Structure 1
Amino acid sequence: MSAEQTVSGAAAKPVATGTPLLEVSGLTKHFPVMGGFPFKRQVGAVQAVDDVSFTVNAGESLGLVGESGCGKSTTGRLVTRLYEPTAGSIKYMGQDIAHASRKELAPIRSEIQMIFQDPYSSLNPRHTVGTIISGPMEINGINPPQGREARVKELLEIVGLNPEHYNRFPHEFSGGQRQRIGVARALALNPKLIVADEPVSALDVSIQAQVVNLLQELQKELGIAFVFIAHDLSIVRHFSQRVAVMYLGKVVEIADRDSLYEAPRHPYTHALLSAAPDADPDNLAGERIRLTGDVPSPLNPPSGCRFRTRCWKAQEKCATEEPPLVQLSGSADGHLTACHFPEFGDVQGNAKAPATEAATAPESEAKASVPEQRESAE
């Protein structure tokens, strides 16, 4: 089905590919922790997201990766305004929506949609597929020229389902089919931006490939921008043009896909990539980085660099100064890293010349500390 057929249900102004669609700056979300008796009061705060900044261009896909609890999903919910930000700005097409009222958000709700992680809990079991997918159109008062039922059947066909399933209930579908229903619901209003929160993590491997390929086709045909949240680094590399790495509520590295995967600068990114399985037997002899210790609590994160408690390159400076997210000399354009002592090797551990002497530990010191947490894959 062509893109022209796909977008027939709504009239949305196109956005030129490559122009800024979403600009997030200093985004912060702290969840209050209440305690005390008999009167409750705030005794702390979970720093789920802290000073996160990134940009998503029209038609682009930005991958968000990191360990569980790093703030990826919270960031996605903040962008869609399912959560109220504590601080920071979220500019959508130049308009700051971070603290916009419900009335102010109404005109752009249809342009920012979300695909949820769990296809079993994100669909109302008491509603038919037709009701679920047409719900956004009813809420926003949209009446397609061909009628809502025809539009829903068109969407079902777009996502690879039988239009005759219009009157079926979610329990009659498999996990992969349910996720396709979730995709159809997200497409119902022809959004310009979709936040996909681990859309394939609950699916079988073969179904994962089908859903990811479906999203890629829709992105190519419709020019939809994605914030793609996932654990699987191989899927992120396949789907995203740029990748942001998060650790304990902060973005520690952000770059275009090839630059980040081939030459990561932050030790945490290097550790994540070295731990990912590789189907190429030529890469099996590379080093594996095993991180020691547990992820610190977001209730009381470490001072300075939050990764320092698990980093093999940490020094006194890491505890006293928080590293800024900046581009290092010698790095590719737009490759930003937040580290006092960045890595300068590729994923296989082949050494490269340091970009700056000031930001790099002495070569002998770095080599001496690495074997404590690295081991051969043999």
Structure 2
Amino acid sequence: MSAEQTLSKPAGQAPASGTPLLEVEGLTKHFPVMGGFPFKRQVGAVQAVDNVSFTVGAGESLGLVGESGCGKSTTGRLVTRLYEPTSGSIKYNGQEIAHASRKELAPIRSEIQMIFQDPYSSLNPRHTVGTIITNPMEINGINPPGGRAARAKELLEIVGLNPEHYNRFPHEFSGGQRQRIGVARALSLNPKLIIADEPVSALDVSIQAQVVNLLQGLQRDMGIAFVFIAHDLSIVRHFSQRVTVMYLGKVVEIADRDSLYNKPRHPYTHALLSAAPDADPDNESADRIRLTGDVPSPLNPPSGCRFRTRCWKAQEKCATEEPPLVQLSGSAEGHLTACHFPEDGSTTDSVRVAKAGAKAEAKPEVPEARATKD
């Protein structure tokens, strides 16, 4: 099937129920690279995020997955406006915030919070836990009933810590406990949207389960929407209702969880799912899709489809035309894919074709060999 066999569908469309809480359209972030002597000038740009679009409904969880360096964390920091976008639109509750001033952002800062990846560097070691949690309330002028200290102790209890830990310092806690403190800090302002940037990647497996279950409980009980950034596909499947797959700054596939995991359409998504370990050894298969070559540099990404230099299905069209993110015929409602030659969802056929491409890697007609001539 080719991409011409598509159904008209806007990129990143949210579920039909209600207006999305967050709408991201064409979001782009290029970091300038300076060089030259004696006068510095821009000699290039790192294309960290390029034309990314997705939506998040109120109370919904959207997973954002991909290899390291694909732009997941940068996207999260753009949504929270920790980074200034190069271009594109970010609408929160219908309000455009992509290029809003600090004064314009102030009223909604409390509604969009972030849980950072590293629980060791995201907490100020000179502040007590109580100060870390109450500072956001003080900055935003929030005075909860009973006082800020009482609210901070209540939040510590909500995230599974002892309220008596209020006067302790971060170095007195384990990694999992520190991450719970980070969650409590994010909850201190009663947010409607939380960007969770790989919140469990630095934790032990047993602690990962505790933190993920904690976040799920908060989502269920408090109706908080999540953008859950991770590279662990099993955790994303457990936590997220919809999943967005990124590769080298681009969205290559977006779908609801069951549709994406049961019938991936993009070769890259299929390769990621193939590489994920199975908890049951009896289900483990030696037939895995093993990607060859390295991820291209975002300073000079490939023309056309960015995945073509590692794709076993790449053809000449992939080098000259960038595939649009559309709904392919035969895909579930809202399942969007950016591929000229998408998968049919058959794992056996995909592995067989991928292995055939890997065996032919040294031949001049394979995608990687052609890519060196472009």
Same fold (TM over 0.5): yes
Question: Could you tell me whether the CA contact under 8 Å between 1:22 and 1:93 is conserved in 2?
Answer: yes
- 1:66 aligned partner: 66
What's the CA shift for 1:140? Answer: 0.4
Distance change in 2, residues 1:316/1:163 (3 Å): same
Give % identity.
88
- 1:305 aligned partner: 305
- For the residues of structure 1 that align with 2:356 and 2:321, how far apart are their CA atoms? 26
Question: Could you tell me whether the CA contact under 8 Å between 1:137 and 1:188 is conserved in 2?
Answer: yes
Deviations 1:149-198 (A, max 9, x none): 00000000000000011000000000000000000000000000000000
Which of 337, 352, 356 pairs up with 1:371? Answer: 356
- For the residues of structure 2 that align with 1:254 and 1:30, how far apart are their CA atoms? 23
- 2:34 aligned partner: 34
- The answer as to 2:78 corresponding to 1:93 is no
Please report the RMSD computed on the Cα atoms of aligned residues, expressed in angstroms: 1.4
- 1:317 aligned partner: 317
Describe the SS at the equivalent of 2:323. coil
- 1:163 aligned partner: 163
- For the residues of structure 1 that align with 2:114 and 2:318, how far apart are their CA atoms? 37
Deviations 1:31-53 (A, max 9, x none): 00000111110000000000000
- For the residues of structure 1 that align with 2:232 and 2:38, how far apart are their CA atoms? 46
Distance change in 2, residues 1:145/1:171 (3 Å): same
- For the residues of structure 2 that align with 1:297 and 1:369, how far apart are their CA atoms? 23
Question: Could you tell me whether the CA contact under 8 Å between 2:176 and 2:211 is conserved in 1?
Answer: yes
- For the residues of structure 2 that align with 1:370 and 1:337, how far apart are their CA atoms? 23
Deviations 1:15-46 (A, max 9, x none): xx854100000000000000011111000000
- 1:354 aligned partner: none
Question: Could you tell me whether the CA contact under 8 Å between 2:61 and 2:227 is conserved in 1?
Answer: yes
Show the 5 A alignment for 1:4-23: 19-23=19-23
> Match of 2:110, as an amino acid?
S
Q: Which deviates more, 282-291 or 89-98?
A: 282-291
Structure 1 unaligned segments of length 5 or more: list them: 1-16, 352-365
- 1:187 aligned partner: 187
TM-score (norm 1): 0.89
Describe the SS at the equivalent of 1:234. helix
Show the 5 A alignment for 1:1-378: 19-285=19-285, 287-346=287-346, 348-349=347-348, 370-373=355-358
Describe the SS at the equivalent of 1:373. helix
> Match of 1:341, as an amino acid?
F
Question: Could you tell me whether the CA contact under 8 Å between 2:326 and 2:336 is conserved in 1?
Answer: yes
What's the CA shift for 1:373? Answer: 3.2
> Match of 1:24, as an amino acid?
V
- For the residues of structure 1 that align with 2:125 and 2:55, how far apart are their CA atoms? 36
Distance change in 2, residues 1:323/1:213 (3 Å): same
Question: Could you tell me whether the CA contact under 8 Å between 2:264 and 2:343 is conserved in 1?
Answer: yes
Question: Could you tell me whether the CA contact under 8 Å between 2:26 and 2:52 is conserved in 1?
Answer: yes
What's the CA shift for 1:287? Answer: 2.4
Describe the SS at the equivalent of 2:52. strand
What's the CA shift for 1:251? Answer: 0.4
Deviations 1:264-310 (A, max 9, x none): 00000000000000123453236200000000000000000000000
What's the CA shift for 1:248? Answer: 0.1
- For the residues of structure 1 that align with 2:268 and 2:50, how far apart are their CA atoms? 17
Q: Which deviates more, 76-85 or 18-27?
A: 18-27
Question: Could you tell me whether the CA contact under 8 Å between 2:289 and 2:354 is conserved in 1?
Answer: no
- For the residues of structure 2 that align with 1:70 and 1:304, how far apart are their CA atoms? 17
- For the residues of structure 1 that align with 2:75 and 2:179, how far apart are their CA atoms? 21
Structure 2 unaligned segments of length 5 or more: list them: 1-16, 360-374
Describe the SS at the equivalent of 2:113. strand
Describe the SS at the equivalent of 2:54. strand
- 1:361 aligned partner: none
- For the residues of structure 2 that align with 1:286 and 1:337, how far apart are their CA atoms? 27
User: How many pairs does the alignment contain?
Assistant: 343
- For the residues of structure 2 that align with 1:335 and 1:286, how far apart are their CA atoms? 29
Describe the SS at the equivalent of 2:298. coil
Question: Could you tell me whether the CA contact under 8 Å between 2:52 and 2:251 is conserved in 1?
Answer: yes
Distance change in 2, residues 1:138/1:309 (3 Å): same
Describe the SS at the equivalent of 2:89. strand
Describe the SS at the equivalent of 2:288. strand
- For the residues of structure 1 that align with 2:298 and 2:70, how far apart are their CA atoms? 9
Question: Could you tell me whether the CA contact under 8 Å between 1:18 and 1:59 is conserved in 2?
Answer: no
Q: Which deviates more, 304-313 or 286-295?
A: 286-295
What's the CA shift for 1:367? Answer: 5.7
